[in-house]
Amino acid sequence: MSRPLLNRNLAGLGTTIFAEMSELAVATGSVNLGQGFPDTDGPHVIAQAAADAIMSGRGNQYPPGAGIAELRTAIAVHQRRFYDLAVDPDSEVLVTAGATEAIAASLLALVEPGDEVIAFEPYYDSYAACIAMAGGVRVPVTLRAPDFRPDLDALRAAITGRTRLILLNSPHNPTGSVFTRDELARIAELAISRDLLVITDEVYEHMVFSGEHIPIASLPGMRERTVTISSAAKTFSFTGWKIGWITATSELVTAVRTVKQFLTFVSGGPFQYAIAEALALPDDYFRSVSGGLAARRELMVDGLAAAGFEVYRPAGTFFITTDIRPFGEVSGLDFCRKLPYKAGVVAIPSSVFYDNAGEGQFHVRFAFCKKDEVLKEALNRLSALRSG
């Protein structure tokens, strides 16, 4: 066969680092702080609601294409409750197979081949792949240590006549940066003046420790040009259920739904019923999500600093970025490949989240969505690094 099998837009994508690191974790008996999934399931009452839905025959057959009415209503109520955003559950909500499908369907719907998509790097790995699948062109704008703030002059300079949209992610994986109201307002100003769409990935919306989460759709003039994406995975600690959603104007929802219809059509029927209940949990639940993680952030900030890392304190998410230069190391990739053998801990080299070669090469990301005792064990192991 003379042609490569993989669509050429995707050549070089599909990082295997997560699989490599997870295999290394198993092979070496390491504590795995690589991939960002919790080691504790979400509330029992919500798991029970999913089981009840299955046993009582709710959602076992194809649910409606846009998602069940109960969940769409719960999503609309959530947007009103936390952000005072008015969303019509019938025409402005679409339930997806996780935020992952929401990202894919939104980009495939809104990007034509050759369109430029600006995203702040380092970025979540599906962004590059989905832009490529749509035939779009990635235009990275780099968030730089120590604060990982968006450089708005660089953003302005990155916009061309071919720019179609800006892809945002706040709270931001992997840096833990949370964009401020002022930063979002300036991004909004650019989007409006240059007539751009915005896709905003807000899956960590309830994991903010400093500052507050502000959906860019809540800023003046942004509702009509923004696709807001979120998911039950992180907030409710059920990453395997793959229930995500978008909220946007009915025109945008219709466009994204057209793609979604041919990707999965529908998914997760019984889980949709359970997440409708989860979104209605009392404020205490949502406070406990950020409260629990805030305590673990402190544990990690102190423990990683004591182990010898330079630590960049995250304002949100459950990731923490560190710098390995205090160990005399200059390649995060090499460092992460050695770490399981040297210390029995697995982390992810941040360079895999960048397009620009060299950016992020000194950085290593740890996930702290794990039990306290697991984090303490990891920190204890890492404390041997200095002496080793």
Picking from 229, 228, 217, 213, the residue whose alpha carbon sits closest to that of residue 191 is 217
Which positions touch ligand PLP (CB under 6 A)?
Answer: 36, 98-100, 124, 169, 173, 201, 203, 231, 233, 239, 242, 244
Name the β-bridge partners of 95: 245
**Shortest separation between residue 263's beta carbon and ligand PLP, angstroms:** 13
- Cα end-to-end distance, the chain, whole Å: 50
Cβ proximity to ligand PLP, 120 vs 124, nearer residue = 124
How many residues are there in the chain? 388
Cβ proximity to ligand PLP, 237 vs 249, nearer residue = 237
Q: Which residues of 221-254 are buried (b: 16+ CB within 10 A; e: fewer)?
A: ebbebbbbbbbbbbbbbbbebbbbbbbbbeebbe
Give the C-alpha separation, 364 to 340, whole Å.
13
CA 227 from centre of chain: 15
The CB-nearest residue to ligand PLP is 98
Picking from 205, 196, 203, 254, the residue whose alpha carbon sits closest to that of residue 226 is 196
Give the C-alpha separation, 376 to 152, whole Å.
38
Picking from 268, 239, 296, the residue whose alpha carbon sits closest to that of residue 40 is 239
Give the C-alpha separation, 192 to 49, whole Å.
42
Cβ proximity to ligand PLP, 142 vs 380, nearer residue = 142
**Shortest separation between residue 342's beta carbon and ligand PLP, angstroms:** 27
**Shortest separation between residue 239's beta carbon and ligand PLP, angstroms:** 5
What are the C-alpha distances in Å from 218 to residues 82, 83, 168, 290?
11, 7, 14, 22
- Cβ pair 94, 67 in contact under 8 A: yes
**Shortest separation between residue 233's beta carbon and ligand PLP, angstroms:** 4
**Shortest separation between residue 373's beta carbon and ligand PLP, angstroms:** 23
Cβ proximity to ligand PLP, 231 vs 321, nearer residue = 231
Report how many helices (DSSP H) and strands (DSSP E) the chain contains, helices first. Answer: 13, 13
Both tokens of residue 157? 């300079």
Cβ proximity to ligand PLP, 272 vs 307, nearer residue = 272
**Shortest separation between residue 23's beta carbon and ligand PLP, angstroms:** 19
**Shortest separation between residue 87's beta carbon and ligand PLP, angstroms:** 19
**Shortest separation between residue 341's beta carbon and ligand PLP, angstroms:** 26
